[in-house]
Amino acid sequence: MIKNTHVIVALSGGVDSAVAAARLLASGLRVSGLFMKNWEDDDTATFCASAADYASARAVAEHLEIPLHAANFAAEYRERVFARFLADYAAGLTPNPDVLCNREIKFDVFWRHAQGLGADLMATGHYARIAPGPDGPQLLAGCDAAKDQSYFLHTLDPAILPYVRFPIGALSKDAVRAEARALGLPNFARSSSSGICFIGERRFPPFLKRYLSAQPGPIVTVDGVPMGEHPGLIFYTVGQRSGLGIGGPGAAWYVAEKDLRENTLVIAQGADHPRLFQASCPVAPPHWLGRAPALPWCGSVKIRYRQEAEPARLTHDDRRGYTVHFARPQRAVTPGQSAVFYDGTTCLGGAVIELARPPGSPPPGP
């Protein structure tokens, strides 16, 4: 019976999870909230932000008259997310911690803890959907293309999908806020969170410098003209414009490449410079949310959040490994980010974009 089904919502203090909980409650389910604390350090701003989030989650739970549990997963986050985040930066990549955080914490550690509290299901305020498919539940993009978060969910273990609910996946952000206001939720006007997953807004270079050493090196143009010195490649990402410290006449300068071997930052002038575009990119062995498609596969691919899916093809051979070929060259293809595969609105899975491999080098293992 639905009234005996217990769903635990990841209640963050934000409006999205609050409306998700309210919708589940209105559907007749037995609802509880679980607030996660996943980051601890001696930063006063971080402590205050976490306390404010918890106070907001508690106010929502009291308004809805549901129990609120709290758990500290900071140790798991440091071991399973943050350590990988730092290792990737040290290797010259630009990782996406939200992808890893969803797989390792929100839909693994959280779910295991929720089951220990008697949960039959878990729910979050993600803008995504679950729908029946020929081989079981499928992950679908959220209906609001501007807020769709399926990109961040493509590495989930497909075995968890039957137990997951995304109650606001069919709504826009404006509709969520309007519903929160109509329900009298105390956080209906609260601003959305941003920054590093669970760590929040930071001045990124000083934060990263606390954990990684940086080696200064030269900045050169794509034609090899010296343009200055960078404080460390770890502080830059492909396509970046701000923070280069390159002035002068003409169009703005952008990061075209991070040459790890020479510790050199290569820059190109103009947002449409050819060196900022790639027709293909190598990727790691893909993670599939269902049955792996036959290769070569043709569909659409996102190489970053807030991007329309672009027509592309995925191939594999023993010499080159896995490669994504774009129907039209893509700007700022960034190693460490994810290429996420779609068939229409269905998210099939994805793969991490790799650094270009030198000719003749062996592909990564499966």
Is 101 among the catalytic positions?
Answer: yes
Among candidate residues 197, 281, 298, 347, the one labeled active-site is 197
Euclidean distance between CA atoms 331 and 308, whole angstroms: 13
H helix or E strand, kind and range, residue 259: strand 253-259
Is 197 among the catalytic positions?
Answer: yes
Euclidean distance between CA atoms 38 and 97, whole angstroms: 13
Under a CB-based contact definition with an 8 Å cutoff, are residues 123 and 10 in contact?
yes
Closest by Cα among 203, 233, 204 to 216: 233
Euclidean distance between CA atoms 314 and 324, whole angstroms: 5
Euclidean distance between CA atoms 176 and 178, whole angstroms: 5
Residue 272 DSSP one-character state: T
Under a CB-based contact definition with an 8 Å cutoff, are residues 231 and 250 in contact?
no
Among candidate residues 101, 143, 298, 347, the one labeled active-site is 101
In angstroms, what CA-CA distances link 124 with 6, 86, 92, 221, 354? 14, 27, 32, 45, 30
28: left (phi over 0), alpha (psi -120 to 50) or beta: left
Q: Which residues, listed in sequence order, are joined to residue 316 by a DSSP beta bridge?
A: 322
Euclidean distance between CA atoms 47 and 200, whole angstroms: 11
Catalytically active residues are: 101, 197
